[in-house]
């Protein structure tokens, strides 16, 4: 069985803001093994989130390939890849604002064609230490920590074996951040998922099995020494 679940191979990516062209990645390659917690560190604006989007298939590299289990994700239907293999936790949660907690999670489960009940969703909320009373609360009435937990529940539904998280603790206080990291780690190890987190937080870095730093000179990732 292939060890690497996800690979970035010779990735090149440039950003054109209309005035300048900024090279974010040049011949950048990186491999991720199944069942591990990866942390990608880098300064703000260095391109960490862009790299995560490339891994998620939300954006395309100028050059190079993203391989999922050895297959270029461009060859996999994007919606299949996003629906069945990869879940994303966004920095600003990206929950559907007009839906309540239940509807947000139910929508994700429906897209993945998974059966769900109020009880099953309540059970998932309990696992991330969320009171089931919030189930029918609108998203905009939740605190940052609650939103992030809901986003985690949404990412964990189904059998997606890769979880991509963009600054999952960025908007949280340190205690909540620790709890969120612990939750993610539990999910990774229990369910044998691969967690790839981009962050500039040392707290997150300390938790990772493997930590890479985005080196702006070589326009790629290097292992943290």
Partner 1 sequence: MKRSFIEAVIAVFNRAKNSLALLAVMVLALLTISLFYLFMSSKDLIADNIRHELLIEGKINSLSEDNYLAKLKNEDIQAYIADIQNIYKSLDEKYDTAYTMSMELNAENSEVFKLWALDSAMNASGYSLGESDYSEDNLKIFVKEGLNIGNQELKKGDKLSFFQNNGERLDFSIAGFFSYDERYSALGDNLYPDDVDLFADKEVLYAYGTYEDNLEMSNLYIYLKGSDNKEAIIKDVEGSLAALQEYDIEASFIIDESHVRAIEENIAGIGNLYLIFAFMMLILISILLLAFNLYDLRKRFREMGIFIALGNTKSELFLRLVIEKTILLLLAFIVVIPLFNILARQADILILDSLSSAYLQMQKTLDVSIMNMSLAGLSSLRSTEIKDLIFIYLSFAFMNYFYLALSYLGLCRQKTVSLLKD
- Round to whole Å and give the CA distance between 222 and 202: 16
Q: CB under 8 A: which stretch of 79-87, 118-126, 168-176, 206-214 binds partner 1?
A: 79-87
What order do you get walking across the sheet with 71-72 strand by strand? Answer: 21-33, 4-16, 63-68, 71-72
Structure tokens given for 184: 């993610």
- Residue from 46, 103, 199, 201 touching partner 1 (CB under 8 A): that is 103
R_g over Cα of the chain: 17
Q: CB under 8 A: which stretch of 27-35, 106-114, 183-191, 206-214 binds partner 1?
A: 106-114
Residue 76 touching partner 1 (CB under 8 A): no
Structure tokens given for 123: 């059970």
- Round to whole Å and give the CA distance between 225 and 219: 18
- Residue from 12, 34, 76, 99 touching partner 1 (CB under 8 A): that is 99
Instruction: Tell me whether residue 26 or residue 59 sits nearer to partner 1 (CB atom).
Output: 59
- Residue from 8, 88, 128, 162 touching partner 1 (CB under 8 A): that is 88
Interface with partner 1: number of residues (CB under 8 A): 24
Instruction: Tell me whether residue 67 or residue 106 sits nearer to partner 1 (CB atom).
Output: 106
- Residue from 83, 137, 178, 185 touching partner 1 (CB under 8 A): that is 83
- Round to whole Å and give the CA distance between 84 and 78: 10
């Amino acid at each position: 069985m292939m060890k690497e679940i996800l690979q970035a191979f010779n990735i090149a990516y440039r950003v054109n803001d209309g005035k300048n062209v900024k090279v974010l990645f040049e011949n950048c390659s990186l491999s991720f093994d199944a069942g591990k917690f990866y942390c990608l560190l880098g300064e703000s604006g260095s391109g960490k989130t862009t790299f995560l989007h490339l891994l998620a298939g939300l954006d395309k590299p100028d050059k190079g390939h993203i391989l999922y289990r050895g297959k270029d994700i461009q060859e996999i239907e994007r919606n299949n890849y996003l629906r069945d293999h990869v879940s994303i936790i966004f920095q600003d949660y990206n929950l559907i604002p007009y839906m309540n907690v239940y509807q947000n999670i139910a929508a994700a489960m429906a897209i993945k064609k998974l059966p769900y009940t109020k009880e099953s969703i309540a059970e998932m909320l309990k696992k991330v230490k969320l009171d089931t009373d919030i189930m029918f609360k609108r998203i905009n009435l939740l605190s940052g920590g609650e939103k992030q937990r809901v986003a985690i529940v949404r990412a964990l539904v189904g059998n997606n074996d890769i979880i991509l998280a963009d600054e999952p603790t960025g908007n949280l206080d340190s205690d909540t951040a620790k709890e969120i990291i612990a939750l993610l780690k539990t999910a990774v190890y229990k369910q044998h998922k691969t967690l790839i987190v981009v962050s500039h937080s040392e707290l997150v870095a300390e938790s990772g099995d493997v930590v890479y730093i985005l080196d702006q000179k070589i326009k790629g990732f290097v292992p943290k020494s």
